[in-house]
Amino acid sequence: MCVGRGTASDSYRHGGDVMSRKSIGLRTWLMQRLSAVYMMLFVVGFAIYFISNTPASFLEWRMMMANTFVAITATLFFLLLLVHAWIGMRDVIMDYIHIDGLRLLLLTGVGFALLGAAIWITKILLTVTV
Amino acid sequence: MENKKRPVFLDLTRIDMPVMAVLSVAHRITGIVMFLSIPAVIYLLGLSLNSPQGYEKVTSLFDSGLFRLVLLMALWCFAHHFFAGIRYFMLDLDIGVDVVNGRKSAWCVLGAGLLVTVIGMVVML
Ligand code: HEM
């Protein structure tokens, strides 16, 4: 496995060796991929489900999303999406922003924005009742 | 980072960009665009689920040509990032890491992303 194909930020922090040093880079790398795999499965599964039972009204749409299985898998999808986006944006910011203060500001901003999004979407998806 | 006087050549119009490089840049840009779209997606999803009026509002957005164009761009971003993601998984597993296959798979990713977008366009028309 070519695990070393990390981002510039990974190699920057680990002196070029992503596999070593407390494996912080490796763990986020793995999380980035695991979340991507779940997203792929969910999107394909949901698209097939949606196309074969396309809701034609508000009530049908709400009923579809109120289904326990759909609600839980969709919430998990969005939470993993936000984790994935966090790791991705963190890498992008670390690659381009080398001014410490600005980097911290951007990372904090993105982090809180994603946290807010997580609470928002969870509240929407888990409070749908018929 | 220390040597501030090191030569830097970043003339994008003169750097030779193989497909793989284009793909890599596009994967990053599509990821950032999708990150920026998160609030809009959650807002519309919530609106459509909260009340019949909100649902009508969201579905009537589809009457707008501009909205459909934005949606197609979003679909292209997602599809491209999706297929490029699959390609990265294959590279991680050491499949197709050589130049010939790497180039072939890069073209496939570009094509697959466009194909999904065209299908979306046909469905929407
Ligand atoms: C099925 C869906 C998706 C798949 C298969 C996928 C796959 C991937 C993979 C494999 C990477 C790592 C690339 C690398 O390490 O070089 C990545 C990076 C990234 N993804 Fe995704 N992704 C998906 C959805 C998303 C979504 C919905 C967003 C935005 C909210 C997103 C944002 C990003 C960002 C910002 C990066 C970092 C880009 C970079 O470092 O160049 N991804 N994605």
Q: Tell me the pTM.
A: 0.87
> Tens digits of per-residue pLDDT, A92-112?
999 999 999 999 999 999 999
Place of tokens 């489900």: A49
Rounded to the nearest whole angstrom, what is the distance from the C-alpha of residue B36 to the centroid of ligand 1?
13
pLDDT value, residue B12: 78
Mean pLDDT of chain B: 93
Structure tokens at B69: 């164009």
Contact A58 B55 (CB under 8 A): yes
A128 vs B contacts (CB less than 8 Å): 49
d(CA A54, CA B110): 29
Q: Which of B83, B99, B31, B36 is nearest to A95 (CA)?
A: B31
Q: How do residues B29-71 score in pLDDT, each as one tens digit?
A: 999 999 999 999 999 999 999 999 999 999 999 999 999 999 9
pLDDT tens figures, A41-93 = 999 999 999 999 999 999 999 999 999 999 999 999 999 999 999 999 999 99
Q: Measured between alpha carbons, how far is A44 from A66 in angstroms, rounded to an integer?
A: 19
Please state, in angstroms and as integers, the Cα–Cα distance from residue A24 to each residue in A21, A38, A91, A126, B73, following that order: 7, 21, 13, 32, 35
pLDDT for A38: 98
Q: Do A85 and B91 touch (CB under 8 A)?
A: no
DSSP 8-state code for residue B94: T
A87 touches chain B (CB under 8 A): no
Residues of chain B contacting A5 with CB distance shorter than 8 Å: 91-92
pLDDT at A51: 94
Residues with Cβ within 8 Å of residue B84, at least 6 apart in sequence: B23, B26, B27, B30, B109, B113
Q: Greater confidence, A27 or B83? A: B83
B69-78 pLDDT per residue, tens: 999 999 999 9
